[in-house]
Amino acid sequence: MIEKLKYQIRINTDIDELKLDKIVSYFKYRKVKRSTLLLSEGEVCKELYLVYSGCVRTYYLTQQGYEKTRHIAFDDSIVTSFSSFISLQPSFEFIDTLEDSELYSISRKDFYQLVVDIPEWERFYTRFLEMTYIHQNKKIEARVTLTAKQRYEKLITEHPVYVRRLSNKILASYLDVREETLSRLKSK
């Protein structure tokens, strides 16, 4: 399993085996059940997770109590509450598991120590932040410029795994539509 973690780092930066071994030594393996809350609103996020297998999401609760899913992380994805992880401020979002999951976690302290100690890790982090920004920006662009039907069709085309593995409730929350709207879109 550690090879999968190394692969994720290798594909994002050029790094020698010795430094790679040092990086992965900071990650801790965790096996968690479905519906495990990894972070609650108001807590400071002090861990970053690599999803080895399973599914993890980050979401917000509106004042009306509706869930708004910001990010879904399937196998081989990284997930955290970045604004809280970076700033050490209380999180406005939750992180939970949607499936039984196997995770590698690294503490914020160790993560940033590696940024200082290993230039390749800093490049990995920069690349990851850039990719996260692009992903979130595309999601905002779609929300602002596309209809619910267009967002759903785009998701089916670009990420069919979302439709296969997520419940209608979570999928609707991710697309920022009501479940009834999603049901109508799926039936067409």
pLDDT at 4: 80
Specify the pTM. 0.90
User: Which backbone phi and psi does 78 adopt, to 5 degrees?
Assistant: -105, 145
Residue 51 has pLDDT above 90, yes or no: yes
- Judge residue 73's burial from the number of C-beta atoms within 10 Å of its C-beta, 0-12 exposed, 13-18 middle, 19 or more buried: buried
Lowest mean pLDDT among 5-9, 16-20, 35-39: 5-9
What is the distance between the terminal CA atoms of the chain, rounded to a whole angstrom?
A: 41
Q: What is the mean pLDDT of residues 129-140?
A: 92
Mean pLDDT, the chain, integer? 94
Over 61-125, what HEC string results? ECCCCCEEEEEEECCCEEECCHHHHHHCCECCCEEEECCCEEEEEEEHHHHHHHHHHCHHHHHHH
Lowest mean pLDDT among 3-12, 56-65, 135-144: 3-12
Residue 106 and residue 28 in contact, taking contact as beta carbons nearer than 8 Å: yes
Residue 10 has pLDDT above 90, yes or no: no
Residue 188 has pLDDT above 80, yes or no: no
**Could you tell me the CATH superfamily of domain 2-119?**
Jelly Rolls (2.60.120.10)
Using pLDDT thresholds of 50, 70 and 90, give the confidence band for residue 1: low
Domain limits of the chain? Answer: 2-119
For the stretch 157-171, pLDDT in tens is 999 999 999 999 999
